[in-house]
Amino acid sequence: MPAAVEAAVARLTGRAVTGLRPLSGALTEATLDDGRVVMVKRGDTPAALRAEAAGLRWLAEAGAVRVPAVHGHDRCRLVTDRVAIGRPGARAAVRLGRGLAAVHAAGAPAFGAPPPGGPMDAYIGRAPMRNVPGTDWPSWYAGQRVLPYVRRAVDSGTLRRTETAVFDRVCERLPELAGPGEPPARLHGDLWNGNVLWGADGHAWLIDPAAHGGHRETDLAMLHLFGCPHLGDVLDGYQEAAPLADGWAERIGLHQLFPLLVHAVLFGRGYAEQALAAARAALAR
């Protein structure tokens, strides 16, 4: 296996490998002969690696937020620059908020549009995620993000069939619950705290995207869901650059339905109960 990793890294970077350091079952640091260190990620499927590489490049194109450079990928591995880790800070958080606003403003051709070169059948974490374009956010969010994962959760036994009606009602009311119309934003798509790295250079870096065109409030809702250091500073920077529509804070739970349902499919009943609570709260508004 080390020989296969070395060969893949050498092929994708054009440099010889002088050392490997496994970090987990899926991640390995590789030192190149020029002293640089790159990250090697083993993917579950070729489509997942292709989607991640395309997403990183799409986010980087906006030129507004730090993203590890992609050296390339094959059917098994993705090679990117390594991010030297530092500590979270308020200044970096404000810069992240401003940068995230600019990435969102870079836009997408449609809700659900995949990154250029990215597959329609992509992934969020280890869960399949289809990038089917749509022009209307409420109907797209219902049909492509909420209801497919409700069905998956039922099929896996995580959600009871009798509990699905609350999600149907939310989807029916989405046109009135969604707030003012927004153009498709360029989303990271899986923006939980673990995918924000606080670099030694004093900047926040984004990794592991599930990038697609969506509603900008969705990325911010994911930061709220799983916590983020200096989140208030992130939001201050965002609002300074691109103020959110009135009532955005009341819509956080609505945008959290998607990641909560994904987690229910992947990790079980506790997340299904959180999704049910968020759906009921949305209907009570």
Confidence of residue 285 (pLDDT cuts 50, 70, 90): confident
Confidence of residue 3 (pLDDT cuts 50, 70, 90): confident
Quote the pLDDT of residue 25.
85
Pairing of strands 212-214, 37-42: unpaired
Sign of CA dihedral 244, 258, 118, 100: positive
Q: CB neighbours of 195 closer than 8 A, spacing ≥ 6?
A: 188, 206, 207, 208, 209
Supply φ then ψ for residue 160, to 5 degrees.
-85, 145
Assess if residue 54 is contained within a domain.
no
Query: How many Cβ atoms from other residues are within 10 Å of residue 104's Cβ?
Result: 28
CATH code assigned at 147: 3.90.1200.10
Assess if residue 116 is contained within a domain.
yes
User: pLDDT tens digits for 74-133?
Assistant: 999 999 999 999 999 999 999 999 999 999 999 999 999 999 999 999 999 999 999 999
Assess if residue 33 is contained within a domain.
no
Instruction: Give the separation between CA 257 and CA 275, rounded to whole angstroms.
Output: 6
Which residues form the domain of 162? 84-285
Confidence of residue 1 (pLDDT cuts 50, 70, 90): low
Mean pLDDT, rounded, for 228-248: 97
User: pLDDT tens digits for 15-59?
Assistant: 999 999 999 989 999 999 999 999 999 998 999 999 999 999 999
26's tokens = 């899926």
Supply φ then ψ for residue 267, to 5 degrees.
-125, 0
Instruction: Give the separation between CA 269 and CA 81, rounded to whole angstroms.
Output: 37
Assess if residue 26 is contained within a domain.
no
What residues does 185 pair with on adjacent strands?
214
Assess if residue 28 is contained within a domain.
no
Assess if residue 99 is contained within a domain.
yes
Q: How many domains does the chain have?
A: 1
